[in-house]
Amino acid sequence: MKVKAAVFRDPQEGPGLETLDMRGPGRGEVLVRMVAAGICHTDMKFAASDSPVPGPVVLGHEGAGLVEAVGPGVTKVTRGDPVVLTFGSCGTCPSCTDNAPAYCHDLAGINFGGTPHRAARFTDGAGAPVTGDFFSQSSFATYAVAQERGVVKVRPDAPLEMLGPLGCGFQTGAGAVFNEFRMQPGQTLAVFGVGAVGLTAVMAAHVAQGGRIVAVDRNAERLELAKELGAHMAIHASREDVAQTLRATLPQGVDFALDTTAALPVMRQAIEVLAPRGVAGMTATPRDSAAAFVTMGHLQLGRSIRGINEGNSDPDFTIPMLVDLFMQGRFPVDRLVRFYDFDQIAEAFDDLRDGTTVKPILRLGAQN
C-alpha cells in the first residue's frame, strides 16, 4: 500500500516527506492508521551522521493510532482498536517470559536491526528499498506496521494524539519510579535532567507520594515546570553545587537518583548523592561508557547502580495504567507536549534539539 513517510536519507539534510510502498501486515503484524507520533532523543541519535542504522530509513517509535488490519495469527487487537505502539520484544527469552520485555535478550536486534523483513518493508518511488521496522514500528508515517507484542490497546475515551510518547519517553521516566524503584510514600528521589523522561519521573514520584523530590537541571524554566509537577526542590546545576545543596536538606542523601542525561559527570553526581542502600538508575548510555566513575568503597554501604531500559515496563500493564493516571489528571503529560503538523517534522526535531519543546508530537492524519 502507499503511505506518506518521513525518510531520513542524508543527516545533513534532515527528513523529507515521500510516498513509499509499504509491505504488510504479515503474520503476527498489525497495520495501524497513525494519529500521531512523539519525537524522542533516540530518533535524533538515529538521524545523526554516526547512526547505527544508515539511511534511507523511516524512524519514529512513539506512535499512536487505530488498528486498520491485522495479519494472520494476531489475537490481541482487532480493526478499529485505539492503540499505542511501543518497543518490540521476542516473547520467549527468560526476561520476556518473566514479564520484563524491556530487558529482552534480543532487544537491540529486534528494535534496531533484526526483524527479518525490515529492509523490504518500504520501497521508494524509484523502486529502491527504505529501511523500516525501527523500534518495531517506524511510525513517522501515515500508516505503520507493528509487531503484535509492540501494540497496546488503550481505553477509547483517551485522546490518542497525546499518548504516543507513553510508548517510550513517558514510560521510561514513570516506569523507573513505579517498576524499578517501586518508590514508597516518604522515600526520596533526585532526578538529574528534567526533559520528558525526568519530568515524567517527577510526576510518578508525586503520585507515589515521595517524601522529597529533587529536580536537577541547568534550565531554569524546566526546573520551574518540575516544581509545578511535584518537585519539592530544584537545584540549578550550573549555579549551585549540587551535592552540597542537596545534602544541606537531606544530609543522609536520597533513596533514589535517576540520571536522564547520559553525561558522565552528572552520572557520577547521581551516585554520590545516594543514601546508604540507595539506588541510582541510569536511563541512557554515555558515548564513552567504558570510562570508570564508581568508587567501590561508596557502593559498599548497599548502594547500587542500575541500567534501566524503557522504565522496566511491561507495556501491556504500564501503558494502560499511565493512561488511567492521565485521565484522572494525575499524570499531566499535556504540560510537556507541543503539536506539529507532519510537514513541520524538521522544525519539531530542531525544537527538541535546542530544548524549545520538551516533547514534540507530530500529527499524522487520522483522528480518534
Q: How far is the CB of 353 from Zn ion (least distance, A)?
A: 15
> What are 21's strand-pairing partners?
2, 123
Which of 39, 336, 355, 351 shows the shortest CA–CA distance to 199? Answer: 336
Give residues 28-47 in contact with Zn ion (rule: CB under 5 A): 40, 42
Q: Where are the alpha helices (DSSP H) in 75-168?
A: 94-97, 107-108
CB of 236 to Zn ion, least distance (A): 27
Specify the residue, 89 or 368, whose C-beta has the smaller distance to Zn ion: 89
d(CA 334, CA 326) in angstroms, rounded, equals: 9
Nearer to Zn ion, 131 or 269 (CB): 131
Contact assessment for residue 141 and residue 17, using Cβ atoms and an 8 Å cutoff: no
For the CA atoms of 13, 14, 19, 24, what is the dihedral angle to 10 degrees? 130
CB atoms within 10 A of CB 160: 22
**Residue ranges in 77-96 that form contacts with Zn ion under rule CB under 5 A:** 89-90, 93, 96
Binding mask 57-76 for Zn ion (x = CB under 5 A): --------------------
Q: Given the rule CB under 5 A, which of 103-111, 126-134, 204-212, 325-333 is the region that contacts Zn ion? A: 103-111
Smallest separation, CB 94 to Zn ion (Å): 8
CB of 302 to Zn ion, least distance (A): 30
Residues contacting Zn ion: total by CB under 5 A: 8
Question: Cβ neighbours of residue 169 under 8 Å, at least 6 residues apart?
Answer: 38, 40, 41, 62, 196, 197, 200, 359
Indicate the SS3 state at residue 191: strand
Specify the residue, 152 or 168, whose C-beta has the smaller distance to Zn ion: 168
Find the binding residues for Zn ion in span 293-332 (CB under 5 A). none
β-pair partners for 147 = 29
Please give the helix or strand (H or E) that residue 352 lies within, else none: helix 345-353
Q: Using the rule CB under 5 A, is 104 a contact of Zn ion?
A: yes
For Zn ion, the binding residues in 160-179 under the rule CB under 5 A are 168
> Which one, 168 or 348, has the nearer CB to Zn ion?
168
Residue in this structure with the C-alpha cell 499535556, named with its chain if needed = 334
Cβ at position 107, least distance to Zn ion in Å: 7
Name residue 79's amino acid: R
Measured from the CB atom, is 38 or 210 closer to Zn ion? 38
In whole angstroms, give the CA distance from residue 10 to residue 181: 40
In the complex with Zn ion, the residue whose CB is nearer, 65 or 167, is 167
Q: How far is CA 240 from the centre of its chain?
A: 29
Q: Which residue, 18 or 310, is less far from Zn ion as judged by CB? A: 310
Q: How far is the CB of 134 from Zn ion (least distance, A)?
A: 10
Please state the closest distance from residue 361 (CB atom) to Zn ion, in A.
13
Say whether residue 102 binds Zn ion (CB under 5 A): no
Task: Judge contact between 187 and 277, C-beta under 8 A.
Answer: no
Residue 168 near residue 135, CB atoms below 8 Å: yes
Nearer to Zn ion, 96 or 174 (CB): 96
Q: What residues line the site for Zn ion (CB under 5 A)?
A: 40, 42, 89-90, 93, 96, 104, 168
